């Protein structure tokens, strides 16, 4: 599998000039190729990738584009590759081959963009020197702050300049999976806003509210920026202060999410979460809190680390009634307002709202995973569409390849169910006809 290792780099003033020139040349090549493709499309023609590469070579021989020779040719070719990838993703999204949100067509790049980047591949012959510096063609030997060692020789490196003026080197390396020692613990996770996450074993991860804590500082910085004259030096300095304040919030949230996801993957053999529609939740009155929580980033980290360390990761259908169902007897108790944090089932069990939901998510995830779980057959009817307890497809989708998924209605050995987690009846699945 491929991983990225990011490091902070500190180019000298002269090297910053060379990097700025490389950023500009790559941007011009990208924009020229995009304009050529648009003109060809308007004329009913098609420009191939090879034709664009030939046009780039010919442009270097002209007086208008002779300065493109001042940077590495690999950087320019990678700019064309980025455009080809952008168009490929756009076309695959239009025809439905690409999953996820619809991808927009490529647009022109600007020198005022907050993020500038260039990429060097092995053909550029970049390398890490014995003095721990990174040698980049036509840039020089750039000092790197090595926070950890590279696991192997990188296949490419991307030099990035962010909105705050910081420079980073992002190495792509090919690594083998590193399975962790197996454990007997599985967990279900119920994500929230008041508490970031509640695990099925009762563990609570508090919400840090990074953006809320920094709101006053961000407001002051933004107010100072709004008072500066446009295109002035003071406005540029104020803009960097705002960018640094936002970068600090984002970096802190990302670091915290990495630590929490690593602990969960290390301590559990299987992890199951609810398949939340985060984009829809971000359009509600809770939008700021949803974005501040960073659910999407956290779930993505869990999935990636599970694949890397040999763990099982699954998502439970978002319509599964994890909050309405009793984790002891499996009875549905109806919808509950958010202010109800505890409730009692008719079987006598008293539930904490979030812990009960996490246990139901764990049971639903195990129902479609190789982990044994007993499916009892007494209290839940599938004829309750108003409760939305019946998923249209599989309740959970484990990412561990090569393991058969259990079919609805199968009874498996309940020996794998830990103590304190009784059997839960799950709604049967309907076979969809296409």
Handedness of CA 232, 237, 241, 247 (dihedral sign): positive
**Catalytic site positions:** 190, 274, 354
Write the burial class of residue 232 (CB in 10 Å: 0-12 exposed, 13-18 middle, 19+ buried). exposed
Is-contact 122 106, C-beta < 8 A? Answer: no
Write the burial class of residue 356 (CB in 10 Å: 0-12 exposed, 13-18 middle, 19+ buried). buried
Which residues 6+ apart lie within 8 Å of 155 measured at CB? 121, 122, 172, 173, 174
Q: What is the DSSP-derived secondary structure letter of residue 418?
A: P
| Residue 24 to residue 14: CA distance in whole angstroms | 16
| Residue 426 to residue 389: CA distance in whole angstroms | 9
Structure tokens at 68: 């493109």
DSSP states of 173-192 as a string? Answer: EE----PPPP-S-EEEEEE-
Structure tokens at 60: 């270097």
Which residues 6+ apart lie within 8 Å of 202 measured at CB? 355
């Amino acid at each position: 599998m491929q991983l990225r290792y990011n490091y902070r780099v500190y180019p000298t003033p002269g090297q910053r000039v060379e990097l700025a020139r490389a950023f500009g040349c790559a941007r011009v090549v990208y924009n020229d190729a995009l304009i050529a493709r648009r003109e060809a499309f308007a004329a009913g023609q098609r420009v191939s990738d090879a034709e664009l590469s030939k046009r780039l070579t010919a442009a270097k021989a002209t007086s208008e584009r002779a300065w493109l020779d001042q940077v590495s040719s690999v950087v320019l070719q990678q700019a064309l590759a980025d455009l080809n990838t952008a168009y490929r993703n756009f076309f695959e999204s239009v025809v439905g081959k690409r999953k996820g949100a619809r991808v927009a067509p490529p647009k022109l790049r600007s020198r005022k963009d907050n993020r500038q980047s260039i990429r060097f591949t092995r053909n550029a012959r970049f390398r890490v020197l014995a003095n721990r510096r990174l040698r980049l063609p036509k840039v020089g030997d750039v000092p790197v702050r090595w926070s950890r060692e590279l696991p192997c020789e990188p296949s490419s490196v991307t030099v990035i300049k962010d909105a705050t003026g910081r420079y980073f080197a992002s190495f792509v390396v090919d690594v083998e999976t590193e399975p962790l020692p197996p454990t007997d613990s599985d967990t279900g996770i119920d994500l929230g806003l008041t508490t970031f996450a509640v695990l099925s074993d009762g563990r609570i991860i508090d919400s840090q509210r990074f953006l809320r804590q920094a709101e006053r500082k961000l407001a002051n910085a933004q107010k100072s920026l709004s008072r500066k004259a446009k295109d002035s030096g003071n406005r540029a300095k104020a803009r960097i202060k705002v960018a640094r304040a936002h970068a600090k919030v984002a970096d802190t949230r990302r670091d915290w999410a990495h630590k929490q996801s690593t602990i969960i993957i290390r301590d559990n053999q299987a992890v199951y979460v609810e398949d939340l529609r985060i984009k829809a939740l971000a359009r509600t009155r809770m939008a700021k809190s949803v974005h501040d929580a960073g659910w999407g980033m956290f779930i993505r980290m869990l999935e990636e680390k599970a694949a890397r360390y040999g763990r099982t990761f699954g998502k439970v259908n978002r319509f599964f009634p994890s909050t309405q169902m009793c984790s002891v007897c499996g009875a549905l108790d109806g919808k509950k307002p958010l202010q109800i944090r505890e409730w009692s089932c008719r079987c006598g069990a008293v539930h904490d709202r979030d812990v009960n939901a996490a246990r139901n998510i764990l049971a639903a995830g195990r129902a479609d995973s190789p982990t044994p779980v007993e499916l009892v057959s007494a209290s839940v009817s599938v004829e309750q569409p108003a409760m939305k307890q019946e998923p249209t497809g599989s309740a959970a989708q484990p990412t561990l390849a090569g393991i058969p998924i259990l079919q609805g209605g199968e009874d498996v050995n309940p020996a794998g169910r830990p103590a304190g987690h009784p059997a839960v009846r799950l709604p049967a699945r309907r076979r969809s006809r296409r």
